[in-house]
Each structure stands twice: as structure tokens, then as C-alpha cells.
């Protein structure tokens, strides 16, 4: 089997930044990006010799003035995100929560986040046998992958960005939900390079997809994680955003609350989107992703994504259903929101 490309190779911060710099040009169908923050000024060239006459020995000049270097502001790179989607959906394929493929995907995400400098921990998630969208599934274990910044204190104010890594058994899950995972990984890279004021915890959840009907047979990874949080830990979470099915082409980015408790957060994210000229639309009553486990526990949570598409939960959920511009919008909105905290 070919080594998954992007998750292994593209993980380095340096490479990521390099790629970011190389792909700063705007895709033809994307709105113009704001002026680049990287100064394009050339370093001052050494004084040119003023002709053959200037051979007289000169006093030694001082060593060249060092050019002040400034880390360029990180930019969301939708191409890197698409490469990750291909790795997950094409190279690895369907990632049922207890499968070998899921474990492989979780390993890759874990390594990537470690390489970015996060403290990465995992949680074992036990799931029952059942039926996943028409396919019988056995009981087994899945995994949550949690990435915290160094010296993170989960009892101090922070925000949480989550995406589920598993799929239903028949689907390669490019849109559902390699798209969300790929945006999460890009945001983790950017956050590592330029941490927002409020610390960000990133979680790739296992076992989100249903194994039967009803709320109790859904969102196992996030539900277990939230159940295990202490009161103080829950209170410290200022906001949770679930990225779930965020790449299908649409005229806007759905920003969805589950209950009224998420409406302020939804407003904040939409306000951040307006500042970067990304169209969004509001929706409510969305209880079908990891944010719901938090909302039920009293934490403000919303979900980005949920545009309907033909390949949903089918073998047709391949990378071609994902639109680069939409991925770029979601990444841009999320980064703008994280910056606004």
C-alpha cells in the first residue's frame, strides 16, 4: 500500500508554511484574498561597484545588516486540506469506528498533531454491536485523539474544535468527515504557528456515526469524552465547534446551533465570517454531530457544515464531492473566529 502522502509528508510545520507561501495565489473561482501580510520587500542589495575606478582599497565594511525576519501570518491552505482528504478517503478508505482503517487514520492524525508540537492523548471508546446505516457492525473499540497546546490547563478558559474521524462502513467519507478532519488539521497547524489568545483544544473523535436508531447509539466518542469531564473542566470550555461535512459546494457555509444556548456563539462565528467576506447561513436544531454531546452538558456548541449531497453515507463519498473553495471558506471563517477570541 502506498504510504499516505499528505498526513505523513505534509505534517511538518515548515513544509506546511512553505506550501502556504507557495500557494498564496488565489484560485480562479475564489474571492480575492486580503492583502498579504508578508512583506515582499527585497533585501537591500549591496552597493554596486561604481566602475573600474573603484579599486582603491576600502576600509572593511561592517557586516551586512541582518534583515529583520518576521513570521508570516499563517494562512489556511485548502490544497493541503484536500491532500489530507485524499489520504483519508482514497489511500485509507472507509473508516468504521472499530476497523483497522480507522486505527490507521487515528495513528496518522495522532502523529501529525504530535509533530506540530501538541500534547496528544488518546481515549479508548468502547462501542456496541449494531447496525450502521444498513451494515451490521460488531462491538469493539474506537479512539478519540486529543491535542492540547503545551502547558494546557483544561480547567482554565479555552475553546474546543472537534471533527469525527470515523465513517459508516461503506463510505470512504471524503465529505463525511475527512473534510472536517482536514480543516481541523490545518487549523491546528496555524494555531501552533500563531496561538490565539484563548487556548484551543483539538479533538478527532471516534465512533460518531450511528450504530442503531436514537440518540444513545450515536456520537459515542464525544459523549464518552464529555461524560468524563469534571464540572470544572466543562465550565472552562467557552465554546465548541464541530466541523462535520464542510466541503460540499454551496453558496454559503451553514453555521448551526443545536439549542438556543448556542445562538450567541453562532452569531460570533457569523460575525467573524463577515469580516473575512465569507457568506454564511444560520440554522438551528442541529443535533447530529459531536457538538451535541457538549450542548447537552450545558456547554455552548455549534456545528459548521451539513450541506446535503448525493454521495452521503455511500461509496460515492469520494474526494471529487469536495469543493476547494468551500473548504477554504470554512477554514478562513474558523481562523477568523479563533483570532477574534
Q: Where do contacts with Zn ion occur on this chain (CB under 5 A)?
A: 176-177, 244
3 state SS of 304: strand
Minimum CB separation of residue 24 from Zn ion in Å reads 31
For 117-144, letters b (16+ CB in 10 Å) and e give ebebeebebebeeeebbeeebeebebbb
Residue 328: burial class (beta carbons within 10 Å; 0-12, 13-18, 19+): buried
Region of 193 on the Ramachandran plot (φ > 0 left; ψ -120 to 50 alpha; else beta): alpha
3 state SS of 121: strand
Nearer to Zn ion among residue 176 and residue 317 (C-beta)? 176
Instruction: Give the dihedral of Cα atoms 163, 159, 269, 178; nearest 10 deg.
Output: -10
Minimum CB separation of residue 131 from Zn ion in Å reads 17
Minimum CB separation of residue 64 from Zn ion in Å reads 54
Nearer to Zn ion among residue 152 and residue 309 (C-beta)? 309
Grid cell digits, residue 130: 449494531
Nearer to Zn ion among residue 75 and residue 223 (C-beta)? 223
Nearer to Zn ion among residue 165 and residue 236 (C-beta)? 165
Nearer to Zn ion among residue 142 and residue 177 (C-beta)? 177
Minimum CB separation of residue 281 from Zn ion in Å reads 19
Amino acid at each position: 500500500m502506498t504510504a499516505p502522502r499528505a498526513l505523513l509528508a505534509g505534517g511538518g510545520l515548515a513544509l506546511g508554511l512553505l506550501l502556504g507561501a507557495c500557494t498564496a495565489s488565489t484560485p480562479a473561482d475564489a474571492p480575492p484574498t486580503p492583502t498579504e501580510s508578508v512583506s515582499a520587500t527585497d533585501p537591500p542589495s549591496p552597493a554596486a561597484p561604481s566602475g573600474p575606478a573603484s579599486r582603491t582599497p576600502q576600509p572593511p565594511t561592517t557586516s551586512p545588516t541582518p534583515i529583520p525576519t518576521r513570521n508570516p501570518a499563517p494562512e489556511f491552505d485548502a490544497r493541503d486540506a484536500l491532500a489530507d482528504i485524499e489520504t483519508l478517503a482514497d489511500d485509507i478508505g472507509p473508516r468504521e469506528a472499530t476497523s483497522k482503517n480507522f486505527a490507521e487514520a487515528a495513528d496518522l492524525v495522532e502523529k501529525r498533531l504530535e509533530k506540530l508540537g501538541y500534547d496528544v492523548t488518546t481515549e479508548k471508546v468502547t462501542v456496541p454491536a449494531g447496525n450502521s446505516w444498513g451494515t451490521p457492525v460488531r462491538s469493539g473499540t474506537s479512539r478519540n485523539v486529543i491535542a492540547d497546546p503545551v502547558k494546557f490547563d483544561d480547567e482554565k478558559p479555552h475553546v474546543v474544535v472537534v471533527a469525527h474521524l470515523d465513517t459508516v462502513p461503506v463510505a470512504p467519507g471524503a465529505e463525511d468527515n475527512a473534510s472536517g478532519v482536514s480543516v481541523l488539521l490545518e487549523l491546528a497547524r496555524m494555531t501552533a504557528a500563531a496561538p490565539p489568545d484563548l487556548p484551543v483544544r483539538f479533538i478527532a473523535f471516534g465512533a460518531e456515526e450511528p450504530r442503531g436508531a436514537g440518540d444513545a447509539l450515536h456520537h459515542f466518542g464525544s459523549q464518552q469524552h464529555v461524560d468524563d469531564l469534571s464540572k470544572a473542566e466543562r465550565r472552562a470550555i467557552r465554546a465548541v465547534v464541530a466541523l462535520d461535512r464542510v466541503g460540499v459546494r454551496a453558496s454559503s457555509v451553514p453555521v448551526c446551533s443545536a439549542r438556543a444556548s448556542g445562538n450567541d456563539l453562532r452569531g460570533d462565528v457569523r460575525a467573524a465570517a463577515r469580516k473575512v467576506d465569507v457568506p454564511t447561513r444560520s440554522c438551528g436544531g442541529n443535533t447530529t454531530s459531536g457538538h451535541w454531546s457538549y450542548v447537552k452538558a450545558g456547554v455552548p456548541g455549534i456545528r459548521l457544515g451539513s450541506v446535503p449531497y448525493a454521495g452521503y453515507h455511500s461509496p460515492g463519498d469520494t474526494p471529487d464531492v469536495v469543493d476547494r473553495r468551500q473548504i477554504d471558506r470554512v477554514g478562513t471563517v474558523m481562523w477568523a473566529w479563533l483570532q477574534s477570541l
